[in-house]
Amino acid sequence: MKVLTGVGAVIEGATHADRLTGVVHGHDWVVTAWHECKDENDAVVLRSNLELLCKGFDHKPLPPELTRAEDLAVAIMRLSPPSCVEVEISRAGRLYARVTA
């Protein structure tokens, strides 16, 4: 059995240009990172780390390579501690992305 600890944060008002129309617009993204549950993993610390990471995207234009939720999830997973095995991202409009290790 695999036991995971989930922590969440929100990226607020990150903007990007639509790939098809070029129209610049923004989204709030709800991010959930799942970590292998280990004795040294403290959920409060993991959440604080994720919140700090997500704040780096708040109210800023996303680079062209991160305009898709899937790409943003991959970037967040790469910047997360090694215990992170999955990242989920969702936004209004019921759009979701999930990346697993």
**Span 35-56, pLDDT tens digits:** 998 777 789 999 999 999 999 9
Which structural domains are found in the chain, ordered by start? 4-100 (3.30.479.10)
- Least confident span in 31-35, 50-54, 94-98: 94-98
* pLDDT over threshold 90, residue 94: no
Q: In degrees to the nearest 10, what's the CA dihedral of 61, 63, 64, 70?
A: -100
Contact 59, 14 (CB under 8 A): yes
Cα separation, 26 vs 61, whole angstroms: 8
Pairing mode, strands 4-17 and 95-100: unpaired
Residue 45 CA, chain-centre distance (Å), reads 16
Place of tokens 């215990």: 83
Contacts of 2 (CB under 8 A, 6+ apart): 36
Partnered with residue 24 across adjacent β-strands are 17
Q: What is the pTM of this model?
A: 0.90
